[in-house]
């Protein structure tokens, strides 16, 4: 069972620390800034990987409905949600940062 609260708390803390760096960059060493960036990437990636794990447990009809509902209710397209939840490896080392789907070559 995914502990969504712990994942969200870790991400919130990482991004809060990044805001502090933005406000007062001279208060942090280069190593501290690198650690904060690492925490941002790691926490966001963990959330996306957990989303893909739970999504993979759904049957195909439920997956299609969920992608359609997410696209209908928010600013992201169906293609974007497909890229995040289905396309590519299930566990990734970096979060999805694009506003739209990647171009296929």
pLDDT in tens, 77-98: 999 999 999 998 899 999 987 6
Length of the chain: 105
CA distance 7 to 42: 10
- Tokens standing for residue 37: 């960036």
Q: Which domain holds residue 68?
A: 4-85
pLDDT in tens, the chain (105 residues): 899 999 999 999 999 999 999 999 999 999 999 999 999 999 999 999 999 999 999 999 999 999 999 999 988 899 999 999 999 889 999 998 765 444 443
Residue 60 belongs to some domain of the structure: yes
Residue 99 belongs to some domain of the structure: no
Contact in structure between 83 and 102 (CB atoms under 8 Å): yes
pTM for the full predicted model: 0.83
The total of structural domains in the chain comes to 1
Contact in structure between 81 and 70 (CB atoms under 8 Å): yes
Residue 88: the pLDDT is 84
Residue 73 belongs to some domain of the structure: yes
> For 102, phi and psi rounded to 5 degrees?
-70, 150
CA distance 30 to 35: 9
Residue 104 belongs to some domain of the structure: no
Residue 1: the pLDDT is 86
């Amino acid at each position: 069972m995914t502990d969504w609260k712990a994942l969200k708390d870790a991400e919130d803390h990482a991004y809060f620390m990044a805001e502090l760096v933005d406000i007062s960059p001279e208060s942090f060493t280069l190593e501290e800034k690198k650690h904060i960036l690492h925490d941002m990437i790691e926490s966001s990636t963990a959330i996306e990987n957990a989303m893909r794990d739970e999504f993979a447990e759904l049957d195909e009809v439920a997956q299609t409905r969920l992608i359609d509902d997410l696209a209908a209710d928010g600013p992201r397209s169906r293609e974007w949600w497909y890229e995040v939840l289905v396309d590519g490896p299930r566990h990734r080392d970096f979060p999805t940062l694009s506003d739209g789907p990647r171009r296929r070559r």
